[in-house]
């Protein structure tokens, strides 16, 4: 069963927005950073990160993540996605998702260049199996 409703999927994908990714530091403090992301069709979300980034270190220790994507214009809409992250050890998948992310955020003419740039050794592909999604549309209406 897809936990991302069609309306939520459209909100997440029809307009390019960064997501704010939250992970947990070793001392329990939250760590929140903007990321490029994309969704697959089976309750999975993908992003990439450098292997020494704080988010990569946090995910190795505690794979629980939360991503918030919002529209900052009235009447305001947001989606909060929770899930369990894992690193994907597949170079072909890394190239594919890096190109897909590059095309989504930088334009299709840049997809191949970003695919090469963001799938080098040291760059990690992260797959998140979504466990919970909260979608609130037009909350100021």
Which whole number is the average pLDDT over 42-48? 95
pLDDT at residue number 91: 94
Encode pLDDT of 62-89 as tens digits. Answer: 999 999 999 999 999 999 999 999 999 9
Every domain of the chain and the residues it spans: 6-135
**Following CA atoms 66, 101, 45, 83 in sequence, which dihedral angle do they give, to the nearest 10 degrees?**
-20
CATH class of 6-135: mainly beta
Q: Please report the sign of the dihedral spanned by the C-alpha atoms of residue 16, residue 17, residue 22, residue 23.
A: positive
Say if strands 64-71 and 19-24 run parallel, antiparallel, or are unpaired: antiparallel
DSSP assignment of 66-92 equals EEEEEE-STT-EEEEEEEEEEEE--HH
């Amino acid at each position: 069963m897809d936990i991302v409703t069609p309306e939520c999927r459209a909100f997440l994908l029809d307009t390019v927005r960064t997501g704010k990714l939250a992970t947990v530091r070793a001392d329990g403090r939250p760590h929140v950073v903007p990321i490029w992301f994309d969704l697959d069709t089976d309750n999975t979300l993908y992003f990439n990160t450098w292997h020494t980034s704080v988010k990569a270190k946090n995910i190795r220790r505690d794979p629980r993540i939360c991503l918030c994507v919002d529209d900052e214009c009235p009447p305001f809409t947001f989606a909060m996605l929770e899930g369990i992250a894992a690193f994907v050890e597949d170079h072909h998948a890394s190239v594919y998702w890096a190109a897909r992310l590059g095309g989504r955020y930088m334009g299709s003419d840049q997809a191949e260049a970003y695919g090469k740039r963001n799938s080098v050794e040291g760059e990690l592909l992260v797959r998140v199996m979504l466990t919970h999604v909260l979608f609130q549309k037009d909350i100021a209406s």
